[in-house]
Amino acid sequence: MNPIVQSSPLHLSENQGKWVGYIIRRERQRRSMTQTFLAAELGFGMSAISSIEAGNAYANIVRTMRLLQKLEIAPGLSIEAIMAQQSIHAMLNRAPQTRVKPTVLIRPASFQPRFSYLPVVADKAFDMPDQAL
């Protein structure tokens, strides 16, 4: 693969194509539309819709863009959301898999908090900060 294309922030991986397909499928289902209905509306075969939803969104980018437009999905925002999602997954996968045991602090009944370490900012309880000086 061309290293310039690979390092470009606009390069879309196969995984991102699957995310686009997932977004399209979820929106289609949310709108109670069938693949057959969308294919008829857009003038291409149902297999094209199925292929895009299966993750082959970049096999025919023109059809994918028409499908996004029909479902009123902003392509730019979708790509940004997908890239953010991938960044989160990458960070989670790099994080060490450790379990943190919760610490429970038990305060004895005789505990009396002491506030002598706090600076005095007012002489009376209801003094305003600007009046205390």
Q: What pLDDT, on a 0 to 100 scale, did the predictor assign at position 107?
A: 53
Q: What pLDDT, on a 0 to 100 scale, did the predictor assign at position 2?
A: 40
Q: What pLDDT, on a 0 to 100 scale, did the predictor assign at position 112?
A: 57
Q: Chunked in runs of 10, what are the mean pLDDT values of the chain (133 residues)?
A: 40 70 90 95 93 84 90 79 69 60 54 48 43 39
Mean pLDDT over all residues of the chain?
70
Q: State pLDDT tens for residues 66-81.
A: 999 999 988 776 777 6
Query: Which domains are seen in the chain, by residue range?
Result: 10-93 (1.10.260.40)
Question: What distances in angstroms separate CA 6 from CA 22, 49, 75, one per listed residue?
Answer: 23, 27, 20
Q: What pLDDT, on a 0 to 100 scale, did the predictor assign at position 118?
A: 42
d(CA 82, CA 16): 7
Full DSSP string of 99-131? PPPPP-----TT-----TTSPP--SSTT--TTT
pTM exceeding the 0.75 threshold for the entire prediction: no
37 in the Ramachandran plot: left (φ > 0), alpha (ψ -120 to 50) or beta? Answer: alpha
